Structure 1
Amino acid sequence: MLKPIVWITAANCIYLASYSVRDILWLRILTVLGAALLIPYYAMQMVPLRVAIEWAGIFIAINLYWITRLILERRPVHLNPDEARLRELSFPSLTPREALALFATGDWDDVEPGASLVVHDRTGNYFSVILRGDADVIYRGEKISEVGEGQFVGEIDLHADLTRDIDVLVRTAARVMCWSREGLHHYLATRPDIGLALERSLDLQLRQLLHTTLSTRNTRS
């Protein structure tokens, strides 16, 4: 039987090795191994250290839980062709896992030509991004711009007073991903990192659209 000194030495060597790794998964694996090697040391004392053994078991259980979570989170993510294309077009800064989580909160919709993606003179309840198809941006009955693959359709709270007069009419059959504004905002509140990436993705398009809209409004004033 190995002496207690061997067990504690081996455990401390494992802990020392854990301090040199950068990957959190390996850090937790080594921590579990080190804690497991300490249990025989505690048990071999003249009076077994039951409290220490129990705490070691608790630490091992917690780390095993996080090891399982990390392994599951690192599994390969498979996007279907539409999801992969939409990520490439509109959300290149998102990882496949982040994109899949975002898409899971929305719904696909196939829109026929002539349909409106924005309800005229009402606050839009949906935020959409076009995967396929083209649409015309209509301001007070007149076409001012076009949107197509990878571009966003919908209002942003900050600019709602500037965009509420805009309609977006589908010109060719379109496939779009739609989110309810309330649901999207709720999701982004829990994932500010994805919210920041989304803001970056649509910032340029929004600025261009607002510039065109304001220019048209000023010309008519």
Structure 2
Amino acid sequence: MNVHATNYLVHFSNVLMLVSYSVRDILWLRWFAVAAALTNIPYFLAQPETLWPPVVWALVFTTINLYQITRIYLERRPVALSEDEQKLYDMVFRSLRPREFVSLTLVGEWKTAAAGDRVLTEGKPASSVCIAISGTVQVRKQGRDLGALEPGYVIGTALALTGDPSPVDATFTSTARYMCWPLQSIRSFLDRRPDLRVTLQGLVNRELAGKLERVLSMLAGDTRA
């Protein structure tokens, strides 16, 4: 191959690199980077004295990018959720990608509650964060009913943040299905996945705002009474 003709390969390779920097999808970025590296190799081989170091490095970069491309394709495979997982996802976690949601559920544990089972005990700190997908949770303070929590309500978030004892009892009124995350497990998970911390923090903030609105409504009801 004519050495001067191979100069066009260098130009084409750099055009591919420019395109890779302009795309937003990391998958396409890596594919363009692979194409750019492979396009350069004939130029290095066609020199009067073969330039082996850049050939080797081009192959190294190509191998790394192909490995990452494989990982991306595996991560983007469709996720099959169980009936319980799908229900929980639709209720609370639609802001997460399905695969992120699955990794979160693996940290927790599905439980079936009987009527009378408690998720919060007045005067004791919360040991977990729970979300019911069926059944109702009755909230009481010193034996007085404060209201009922419907499925999809996140129980224990504020207490998990503060570590304070629970000011209320929270008890299932019937058989229920719920997901439970031990506090230590969820904290360790978020330490390993800082990318999910911001998303989950936004969810917690919305939940706390909803709880504040609920408390204000209860106080307004007490005032009218």
What TM-score range do you get, normalising by the shorter chain?
0.7 to 0.9
Given candidates 116, 119, 127, the residue that maps to 2:118 is: 116
How far the C-alpha of 1:186 sits from its partner, in A, is 2.1
With normalisation by structure 1, the TM-score equals 0.85
After superposition, what is the alpha-carbon deviation per residue over 1:175-214, rounded to whole angstroms, capped at 9, x for unaligned?
000000111122223232332243144223332455478x
1:173 aligns with 2:175: yes
Aligned equivalents of 2:217, 2:167: Cα separation in 1: 13
- Per the alignment, residue 196 of structure 1 pairs with 201
> Which of 15, 37, 40 pairs up with 1:38?
40
Provide runs of 4+ in structure 1 moved above 6 Å. Answer: none
Q: Pick from 49, 68, 71: which aligns with 1:69?
A: 71
Amino acid aligned to 1:178: C
Aligned CA RMSD, in angstroms, stands at 2.5
Contact 2:127–2:183 (CA<8 Å) still a contact in 1? yes
Match of 1:3 in 2: 2
Amino acid at match of 2:79: V
For 1:50 and 1:80, how far apart are their aligned partners in 2? 52
* Paired amino acid for 1:13: F
**C-alpha contact 1:11 1:33 (8 A) present in aligned 2:** no
Partner residue in 1 for 2:105 = 103
Shift of 1:4: 3.8
Other-structure match for 2:11: 12
Where structure 1 has 5 or more consecutive residues not aligned to the other structure, the ranges are none
Q: Which moved more, 1:186-195 or 1:62-71?
A: 186-195
Aligned equivalents of 1:32 and 1:7: distance in 2?
18
Q: Against the structure 1 CA distance between its residues 140 and 79, is the aligned structure 2 distance closer, same or farther, given a 3 Å change threshold?
A: same
Q: Is the 8 A contact 2:16 2:35 kept in 1?
A: no
Relative to structure 1, is the Cα distance of residues 185 and 209 closer, same or farther in structure 2, using a 3 angstrom cutoff? farther
Q: CA deviation at 1:14?
A: 4.5
Question: 2:206 and 2:177 mapped to 1: Cα distance?
Answer: 19
Give the Cα separation in 2 of the matches to 1:77 and 1:27. 24
Q: Which runs of 5+ in 2 are unaligned?
A: none
- Distance in 2, Cα, partners of 1:73 & 1:8: 38
Aligned length: 215
Q: Is the 8 A contact 1:155 1:164 kept in 2?
A: no
The verdict on how the C-alpha distance between 1:14 and 1:164 changes in structure 2, with shifts beyond 3 A counting, is same
CA deviation after TM superposition for structure 1 residue 144, in Å: 0.4
Task: Describe how 1:79-158 pairs up with structure 2 within 5 A.
Answer: 79-156=81-158, 157-158=160-161
Code of the residue aligned with 2:197 in structure 1: it is: P
